[in-house]
Amino acid sequence: MAETTFTPRVFSGIKPSGGLTLGNYLGAIKRWVEMQGEGMETIYCVVDLHAITVWQDPHDLRAGTREVMAGLIAAGIDPEKSILFNQSQVPAHAELGWIFNCVARVGWMNRMTQFKDKAGKNAEKASLGLYAYPALMAADILAYHATHVPVGEDQKQHVELTRDIATKFNHDYKVDFFPITEPVIEGPATRVMNLRDGSKKMSKSGESDMERINMLDDAATIAKKFKKARTDPDPLPETLDGLAGRPEARNLVDIYAGLADITPEAVIAEYAGAGWGRFKPALADLAVAKLAPISEEMKRLMADAGELDRLMARGADQAEAIARPILERTYDIVGLVRSR
């Protein structure tokens, strides 16, 4: 069988399960913005169906969806350059998700570390949706035949599962229909850690607000959170190797590098020997300088829910135009009769 060449296309998504964090920004959104200028079609989605895999208050979910939409636009996703919408308005995601539930194997899902982390000891009480989440994520990506998926390190395993699903589908049905998608995990801050515990990642839904920087935090709050961020007593080392075994210190250096668009080595070169009393305020100033313009614009956009909804609807129409024919062809390959 001749190998199909797929047009390069970028897809990625973000859950409206709380306010956006610095982890979402540095791990994903910043790269999404850059990819708009790299000659590929870019499709970005507020994945509300993923958010409800854990309980969401309906009012908060609606507000959160608009907030994430505003955050993406404020950070530089241009609805004229990218297709930007919320997942539930394009039913092809859920429909293809079902097909992929029937392709993915239970053994594969059992290996997903995010499910283990999120379900914890209460796995019996977790929703079936939380367990099946990675198959829906595969559908999000493959409904567009996306070839590149920019994500943070935490999503790598799910993109690998997407590749496994595409490979099995193509093999089982003897087609070369779905592309084998590449994860794009780039930059100095692909895994931003919790400010209070360097062994856990920074999350929107983490227990304490002090463990994360929210995109809407004001300058005083950002300064307070970095000041109280857990570190060790040692100053910054002379070389990056000196951060081995110091996860909290490494995290703050990586955050600085991500915000300043420089390498962690360059941060160390500038701050070698500095104590936290010097480094933390510098980091807070940098974070405020980068985030304040985004949060101001976010607030302005959030004041006009009607306009955000209109943009989501328009993006959903554009997304539907790509995903529907791919879904119809999938149904056809699978052997589902389509007679109307």
Q: Contact residues for ligand AQP (CB under 6 A)? A: 14-15, 17-18, 21, 23-24, 27-28, 151-152, 154-155, 190-192, 201-205
Q: Measuring CA to CA, how many Å separate 185 from each of 30, 37, 92?
A: 12, 17, 26
When the beta carbons of 79 and 187 are compared against ligand AQP, the nearer one is 187
Instruction: Say if CB 101 and CB 62 are below 8 A apart.
Output: no
Minimum CB separation from ligand AQP for residue 266, in Å? 20
What backbone torsions phi and psi does residue 21 show, to the nearest 5 degrees? -115, 170
When the beta carbons of 73 and 192 are compared against ligand AQP, the nearer one is 192
Minimum CB separation from ligand AQP for residue 166, in Å? 19
Answer yes or no: 204 catalytic: yes
Q: Can you say whether residue 78 is alpha, beta or left, with left for phi > 0 and alpha for psi between -120 and 50 degrees?
A: beta
Minimum CB separation from ligand AQP for residue 178, in Å? 21
Q: Token pair for residue 309?
A: 């909804």
When the beta carbons of 205 and 239 are compared against ligand AQP, the nearer one is 205
When the beta carbons of 17 and 86 are compared against ligand AQP, the nearer one is 17
Which amino acid, 220? A
Contacts 24+ apart (CB under 8 A), 302-308: 302/66, 302/67, 302/70, 305/66, 308/66, 308/69, 308/70
Answer yes or no: 15 catalytic: no
Query: If you search the block for the tokens 């919408």, which residue do you land on?
Result: 85
Minimum CB separation from ligand AQP for residue 59, in Å? 17
3-state secondary structure of 42: strand
Minimum CB separation from ligand AQP for residue 202, in Å? 4
Catalytic residue among 15, 30, 201, 225: 201
Catalytic residue among 30, 81, 116, 118: 118
When the beta carbons of 23 and 179 are compared against ligand AQP, the nearer one is 23
When the beta carbons of 96 and 130 are compared against ligand AQP, the nearer one is 130
Minimum CB separation from ligand AQP for residue 206, in Å? 6
Tell me the HSE value of 193 on the side-chain side, using a 13 A CA sphere: 18
Answer yes or no: 224 catalytic: no
- Residue length of the chain: 340
Q: Centre a 10 Å sphere on the Cβ of residue 174 and count the other Cβ atoms it contains.
A: 9
Catalytic residue among 15, 156, 174, 204: 204
Q: Centre a 10 Å sphere on the Cβ of residue 137 and count the other Cβ atoms it contains.
A: 24
Residue nearest to ligand AQP (CB): 27
Reference 203, options 189, 213, 190; nearest CA is 213
Catalytic site residues? 118, 201, 204
